[in-house]
Chains A and B, each alone.
Chain A
Amino acid sequence: GAVVSQHPSWVICKSGTSVKIECRSLDFQATTMFWYRQFPKQSLMLMATSNEGSKATYEQGVEKDKFLINHASLTLSTLTVTSAHPEDSSFYICSSLAVSSYNEQFFGPGTRLTVL
């Protein structure tokens, strides 16, 4: 399958700071990427759909000004958690969409964010 990387794999920050997470599609171009959040022992919740060259589409209840998404190229999407608070601590996972008859999503390894 295709390879998607995320950087950093983990980050610890102080409350009030902003954190940027990168998602890279390494071996195929992805016009669409997705950002998910996963709390401990829970499932993945879709936060937003990242579209190359246009604004991201956010799911209901997700603050677009809190979670800034930039999909500036066909291989890179970034998620910036602005003014992070302890309740933002979570596992953030991205995926890249490979458009085909299966429309398969390839997932990154995730980023563990801990806000102190």
Chain B
Amino acid sequence: SQQGEEDPQALSIQEGENATMNCSYKTSINNLQWYRQNSGRGLVHLILIRSNEREKHSGRLRVTLDTSKKSSSLLITASRAADTASYFCATTNSGGSNYKLTFGKGTLLTVNP
């Protein structure tokens, strides 16, 4: 079942601006991951944050996790036109299979040159 909910569903910004996407989930998790998907293509893993971590960085990406609010955010700084894609969060649930991913509905990010 889909438990992740991303907002906004769509985001349009200008090149150079920062993009923030949020994800909420419903159950306790082991970890939360963010993926990127270009139109009609497969998924690319961006970053994983464990349930005991609060913030993680990777290049221009910054992910935060608030387990008390059951939410996560993905910040892309200094966006580029090439960042245009759909972004999904996905969780693995504690107490269940440590492998199965439950995906959110995704945010479609458009970066205008």
* Interfacial residues, chain A to chain B (CB-CB below 8 A): 1, 4, 6, 32, 34, 41-46, 49, 91, 93, 95, 97, 102-110, 112
Contacts and interface: CB of A to CB of B under 8 A. Distances in A.
Nearest to A104: B45
Contacts of B11: none
Contact of B42 (A42, A43, A97, A110): A110
B88 A32 contact: no
Contacts of A93: 42-43
B110 to A, nearest CB: 14
B106 A110 contact: no
B105 A42 contact: yes
Interface in B3-36: 4, 31, 35
Interface in B88-112: 88, 92, 97-106, 108
9 contacts: A32-B99, A34-B101, A43-B4, A45-B2, A46-B101, A49-B99, A97-B99, A104-B45, A106-B45
Nearest to A36: B103
A34 B101 CA distance: 10
B59 interface: no
Contact of A112 (B2, B4, B40): B40
Contacts of B41: 109-110
A41 B39 CA distance: 9
Contacts of B75: none
A32 B35 CA distance: 20
A45 B1 CA distance: 8
Contact of B48 (A32, A49, A104, A106): A104
